[in-house]
């Protein structure tokens, strides 16, 4: 681990830079987005079910909806992934037939990240062994806020090593970190330790994704790329429900990182209700497919 974050933390954007940047972002958002733009957003959604009440039947039903999507809407791209708790991965793996849709699992003691590291690593490995293509974990927020950056970095590094070439998304839980510098620093630590994506939130806290946090995280990705030539993805999650919400994050990524990031390899939106809302806007009538 290079501790590159110690060098790059000084480049955290100021509050005025964030405000100016977001002003430019909002001015670039079309009042009436065309269908192609909405389709691009649909294609980067991680369709998510992370409820205490989830069970096998619910997850199989969700997977069936994804499977049947192209049959009903053959000119519209499917979602990027189905995101579930790790114990449901085998059911998704067994039933998923839709092409190019990934299986993502939250793991590592999601959402609190409060247990033994060995258990976090084991859960991540088990999710992959069960068929997950991607794992979403949460940084140990308490350790980060206690300035134990080495612990945070080592844990991410060990988890990444345990899942090999599978995609690791690291949630910084931006709504709990308190200020932009902490969000920036957590993002740098995660990327420096091997994160393939950095993600705003679990969606389980009072403050989830915000445009300000997304802007800071995307600027961190830009700085990391300029320093290392490594492209890290960005995922916004938590409270993103409407097309208007999603368009903000799409244009933040476009503004900070460029069009190369505007695909499911480097940009995701984690949501449950958003997919139907986007689909309804594309079709021009209400659809409840997902």
What are the average pLDDT values for consecutive 10-residue runs of the chain, which has 290 residues? Answer: 65 94 96 94 98 98 98 96 98 98 98 98 98 98 96 97 98 96 96 97 96 98 95 98 97 98 98 96 93
Q: Is 136 a catalytic residue?
A: yes
CA nearest neighbour of 77 among 32, 34, 41: 41
pLDDT of residue 178: 86
CB 235, CB 221: distance < 8 Å: no
99 burial (CB, 10 Å; 0-12 / 13-18 / 19+) is: exposed
Active-site option among 160, 166, 182, 235:
235
Task: Provide the pLDDT for residue 9.
Answer: 66
**Gap between the Cα atoms of 7 and 9, Å rounded:** 6
Enclosing H/E stretch for 283? helix 274-283
Cα 216 to Cα 223: distance, rounded to the nearest angstrom: 11
Estimate to the nearest angstrom the gap between the alpha carbon of 48 and the chain centroid.
Answer: 11
Q: How many CB atoms lie within 10 A of CB 63?
A: 25
> Model-level pTM?
0.96
**Residue 5 has what pLDDT?**
65
The pLDDT, as a whole number, for residue 260 is 98
Q: Residue 190 belongs to what H/E stretch?
A: helix 180-192
204 is catalytic: no
Report, at the CATH architecture level, how domain 4-283 is classified.
Alpha-Beta Barrel (3.20)
Domain boundaries along the sequence of the chain: 4-283
SS3 category, 1: coil
Among 65, 120, 136, 219, the one annotated catalytic: 136
Residue 117 pLDDT:
98
- Give the list of residues 6+ apart from residue 38 with CB closer than 8 angstroms, or none: 243, 278, 281, 282
The whole-angstrom separation of Cα 62 and Cα 82 is 8
Q: Out of 120, 169, 199, 219, pick the active-site residue.
A: 199
- pLDDT given at position 116: 98
10 annotated active-site: no
**Residue 3: alpha-carbon gap to chain centroid:** 23
pLDDT at residue 11 in the model: 83
């Amino acid at each position: 681990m290079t501790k590159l974050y110690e060098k790059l933390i000084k480049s955290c954007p100021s509050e005025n830079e964030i405000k100016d940047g977001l002003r430019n972002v909002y001015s670039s958002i079309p009042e009436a987005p065309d269908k192609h733009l909405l389709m691009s957003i649909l294609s980067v959604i991680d369709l998510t079910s992370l409820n205490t009440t989830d069970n096998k039947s619910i997850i199989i039903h969700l997977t069936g909806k994804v499977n049947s999507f192209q049959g009903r809407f053959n000119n519209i791209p499917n979602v990027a992934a189905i995101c579930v708790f790790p114990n449901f991965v085998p059911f998704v793996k067994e039933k998923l037939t839709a092409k190019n849709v990934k299986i993502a699992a939250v793991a590592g003691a999601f959402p609190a990240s409060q247990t033994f590291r060995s258990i976090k690593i084991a859960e991540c490995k088990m999710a992959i062994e069960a068929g997950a293509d991607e794992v979403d974990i949460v940084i140990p927020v308490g350790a980060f806020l206690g300035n134990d950056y080495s612990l945070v970095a080592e844990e991410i590094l060990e988890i990444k090593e345990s899942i090999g070439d599978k995609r690791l998304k690291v949630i910084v839980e931006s709504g709990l970190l308190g200020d932009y510098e902490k969000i920036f620093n957590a993002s740098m630590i995660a990327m420096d330790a091997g994160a393939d994506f950095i993600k705003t939130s679990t969606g389980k806290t009072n403050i989830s994704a915000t445009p300000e946090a997304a802007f800071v995280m995307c600027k961190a990705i830009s700085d990391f790329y300029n320093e290392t030539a490594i492209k890290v993805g960005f995922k916004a999650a938590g409270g993103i429900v409407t097309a208007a919400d999603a368009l903000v994050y799409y244009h933040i990524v476009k503004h900070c990182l460029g069009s190369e990031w505007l695909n499911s390899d480097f940009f995701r939106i984690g949501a449950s209700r958003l997919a139907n809302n986007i689909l309804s806007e594309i079709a021009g009538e209400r659809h409840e497919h997902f």
